[in-house]
């Protein structure tokens, strides 16, 4: 495995293997000194064309726990702003010595394109509406540990609620959850669904309340306020009334059901309940797992030797 560009490229077995490795990385992360020398001397460069302190910090933390060096290539102050082509930027940074680029870009397919211009590994940290594969992996890991489903997601009922149309998280999660055997239902106003769902292994519903009691996982997406400006949403209040997680809805969830969100949350819109009051909320656990999953991804792409080589703290 040279790059991580899309969940599409992974088989169910690939995903399970990555989640097994994540178990080891979670153990490392729980140590008093959560640091191993596995990627010592490797250089991991963040290349974020869209701001995301949260995701960048998660990758950064993961890289440092493996003793890699990290660099944040600040796009805003770089030669990209002097008219340099993306290709020249990539080739230039590569020539300084880079082992992996972690790329976020507003255009779908940009990370794939970048693989042509460098021999470094590429990790897609979100490209347009297309893919965000490490988010899908951390979501799988969170469900796997939260519901104790190590072998498969067969029979799990997962609803993904919100702005499916513009969401790379939804696209990646649908693929990953389905590959592991889950039954996925999308819940959204028609304006926030893609024009066609042909080939998506999902059902669609507009009635969240009917679904709630049978769900194992309720996955809430972030509603972006600019969707109202685009006239795709009548009002945030109406969205909240129909699709938001209210106290009444939370009460209808099964006791074991997990509530998930990729963050950052719009409190009062897609989630009106304080997650701290929801026994099933694993929203912060997702953040914690995100670091362990990204350690597993970086080790898979850049590490040498088996996982046993990551044993002792650095």
Burial 100-122 (b: 16+ CB within 10 A, else e): bbbbbbeeeebbbbbbebbebbb
Q: From CA 1, how far away is CA 135, in angstroms rounded?
A: 18
Would you give the binding string for a copy of itself spanning residues 214-243, x where CB under 8 A is met?
A: -----------x------------------
Q: Does the annotation count 134 as an active-site position?
A: no
Among 9, 27, 41, 151, which residue sits at the site for a copy of itself (rule: CB under 8 A)? 41
265 binds a copy of itself (CB under 8 A): yes
Instruction: Rank residues 246 and 288 by Cβ distance to a copy of itself and give the closer one.
Output: 288
Q: Which of 3, 42, 65, 132 is catalytic?
A: 132
Q: How far is CA 68 from CA 80, 227, 314, in A?
A: 26, 39, 12
Instruction: Rank residues 191 and 313 by Cβ distance to a copy of itself and give the closer one.
Output: 313
Nearest in space to 217 (alpha carbons), one of 274, 160, 158, 268: 158
61 binds a copy of itself (CB under 8 A): yes
State the Rg of the chain over Cα: 20
57 binds a copy of itself (CB under 8 A): yes
Q: Does the annotation count 267 as an active-site position?
A: no
43 binds a copy of itself (CB under 8 A): yes
Instruction: Rank residues 79 and 191 by Cβ distance to a copy of itself and give the closer one.
Output: 79
Q: How far is CA 256 from CA 148, 251, 266, 274, 278, in A?
A: 11, 12, 24, 18, 11
**Interface region with a copy of itself, contact rule CB under 8 A, candidates 76-84, 123-131, 191-199, 204-212:** 76-84
Q: Which of 55, 89, 134, 142 is catalytic?
A: 55
Max Cα–Cα distance, the chain, nearest Å: 57
173 binds a copy of itself (CB under 8 A): no
- Contact (CB, 8 A) for 206 and 189: yes
Instruction: Rank residues 82 and 207 by Cβ distance to a copy of itself and give the closer one.
Output: 82
Q: From CA 178, how far away is CA 131, in angstroms rounded?
A: 15
Among 8, 84, 203, 230, which residue sits at the site for a copy of itself (rule: CB under 8 A)? 84
- Contact (CB, 8 A) for 163 and 227: yes
Sign of the Cα pseudo-torsion (66, 176, 11, 146, in order): positive
Instruction: Rank residues 53 and 191 by Cβ distance to a copy of itself and give the closer one.
Output: 53
79 binds a copy of itself (CB under 8 A): yes
**Number of Cβ atoms within 10 Å of the Cβ of 39:** 26
Q: Does the annotation count 106 as an active-site position?
A: no
Torsion angle, alpha carbons of 73, 77, 83, 86, to 10: 10
Q: Which of 104, 166, 222, 294 is catalytic?
A: 104
Q: From CA 216, how far away is CA 218, in angstroms rounded?
A: 7
Residues sharing a CB contact under 8 Å with residue 271, sequence separation 6 or more, in sequence order: 220, 244, 245, 261, 265
Q: Does the annotation count 82 as an active-site position?
A: yes
Q: How many residues bind a copy of itself (CB under 8 A)?
A: 50
Among 77, 148, 235, 306, which residue sits at the site for a copy of itself (rule: CB under 8 A)? 77
* Catalytic positions: 54-55, 82, 104, 132
State the residues that interact with a copy of itself by CB under 8 A.
29, 31-35, 40-41, 43, 51, 53-54, 57-58, 60-61, 64, 69, 71, 73-74, 77-79, 82-85, 88-89, 91-97, 225, 263-267, 284-285, 287-288, 290-291, 313
């Amino acid at each position: 495995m040279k790059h991580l560009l899309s969940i599409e490229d992974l088989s169910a077995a690939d995903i399970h293997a990555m989640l097994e490795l994540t178990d080891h990385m979670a153990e490392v992360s729980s140590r008093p000194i959560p640091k191993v020398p596995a990627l010592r001397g490797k250089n991991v460069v963040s290349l974020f064309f869209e701001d995301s302190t949260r995701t960048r910090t998660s990758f950064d933390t993961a890289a440092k726990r493996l003793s890699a060096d990290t660099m944040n290539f600040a796009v805003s102050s770089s030669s990209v702003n002097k008219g340099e082509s993306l290709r020249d930027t990539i080739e230039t940074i590569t020539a300084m010595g880079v082992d992996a680029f972690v790329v976020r870009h507003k255009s779908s397919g940009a990370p794939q394109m970048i693989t042509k211009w460098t021999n470094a590994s590429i990790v897609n940290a979100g490209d347009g509406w297309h893919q965000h594969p490490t988010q899908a992996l951390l979501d799988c890991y969170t469900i796997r540990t939260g519901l104790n489903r190590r072998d498969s997601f067969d029979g799990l009922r997962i609803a993904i609620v919100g702005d499916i149309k513009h969401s790379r998280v939804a696209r990646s999660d649908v693929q990953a959850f389905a590959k592991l055997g889950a039954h996925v239902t999308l819940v959204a106003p028609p304006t926030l669904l893609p024009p066609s769902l042909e080939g998506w292994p999902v059902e669609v519903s507009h009635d969240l309340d009917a679904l709630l009691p049978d769900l194992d996982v309720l996955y809430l997406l972030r509603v972006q306020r600019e969707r109202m400006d685009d006239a795709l949403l009548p009002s945030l209040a109406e969205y909240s009334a129909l699709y938001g997680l209210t106290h009444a809805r939370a009460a209808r969830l099964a006791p074991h059901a997990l509530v998930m969100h990729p963050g950052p949350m719009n409190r009062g819109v897609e989630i009106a309940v304080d997650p701290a009051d929801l026994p099933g909320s694993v929203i912060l656990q997702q953040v914690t797992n995100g670091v362990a999953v990204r350690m597993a991804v970086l080790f898979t792409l850049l590490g040498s030797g088996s996982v046993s080589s990551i044993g002792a703290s650095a």
